[in-house]
Amino acid sequence: MSDKKNNLCEESYFSEFYIKNVQSATNFAYYKSGDSDAALDIVQDAFAKIWENCSQIDYTKVKTYLFTTVNNLFLNTVKHQKVVMAFAKDTPALDKTNQSPEYLLEEEEFKIKLQNAIASLSEAQREVFLMNRIDGKKYREIAEILDISQKAVEKRMSGALKTLKEQIENI
């Protein structure tokens, strides 16, 4: 691996890193802000910082650096607001075989409840929960990216689940 050291300054290696991570970094910014336009801007700025400082960044930590930078830029630029996220239009129902209108309506209602419940999560819970759910990241990977322990990730996951379950069942 040591031969890859400092390759971050090499355009081909940087591009590879960029393509690999731009989507999940943008998602991450989106989980924080709920603003899809601002998300990509922030991520582009973060990549620019990495490129500018490519010689000083440890390549093994560059992913953490990327997400930390996104986080910091987000804190600097975006005002905290209620983050309401929409579902993809083609979201399949959990039970694909059941196409009865009652079931589908029920599921739509559930989705609205879930949407509101996710908006009520703390930022820390939401980003961890969604990185796991949407980006399919393992706890270990999330821990590394956020520079926290895996135990902390699990705690946030469980906290998020609890809040979501309570909110959905109470409404």
Partner 1 sequence: MKKEKEILKWLDGELSADEIADLKQSEDFDTIEKIAHYASHIDTPKINAEEALAAFKNRKLTKKKTKVRPLYFSTVFKVAAVFVVLLASAYWLFLNSNQTFETGIAQTQTFKLPDNSEVLLNASSKITFNEHNWDKQRDLTLEGEAYFQVQKGKTFSVKTTDGVVKVLGTHFDVKQRDNYYEVSCFEGLVSVTYNNTTVKLPPGKSFRVINKQIEKTDDFDAQTPSWLQKESSFTRVPLNQVIAELERQYDIKIETQGIDTSKLFTGGFTHTNQKTALESITIPLQLSYRIKGKTVTLYQYEVQ
Interface residues toward partner 1, by CB under 8 A: 9, 15, 18-19, 22-23, 26-27, 30, 36-37, 39-40, 44, 47-48, 51-56, 85-89, 91-92, 94, 107, 110-111, 114, 118, 129-130, 132-134, 136, 138-139, 154, 157-158, 161-162, 164-165, 168-169
Least spacing, CB of residue 162 vs partner 1, in Å: 6
Query: Shortest distance, CB of residue 44 to partner 1, whole angstroms?
Result: 6
Looking at the Cβ atoms of 71 and 132, the one nearer to partner 1 is 132
The number of beta carbons lying within 10 Å of the beta carbon of residue 127 is: 25
Least Å distance between CB 68 and partner 1?
18
Query: What torsion do the CA atoms of 96, 101, 106, 112 make, to the nearest 10 degrees?
Result: 90
Angle between helices 150-170 and 101-119 (to 10 degrees): 130
| Single-letter amino acid, residue 18 | Y
Q: Whole-number minimum distance, CB 165 to partner 1, in Å?
A: 6
Q: State which residue, 7 or 44, has the beta carbon closest to partner 1.
A: 44
CB 107 within 8 A of CB 93: yes
How many residues in the chain?
171
Measured from the CB atom, the residue of 64 and 154 that comes closer to partner 1 is 154
Cβ 23 to partner 1 shortest distance, Å: 5
Q: Measure the CA–CA gap between 126 and 120, rounded to whole angstroms.
A: 9
Angle at Cα 149 formed by Cα 66 and Cα 163, nearest 5°?
95
Is the Cβ of residue 72 or residue 87 nearer to partner 1 in the bound state? 87
Q: CB of 159 within 8 A of CB of 125? A: yes
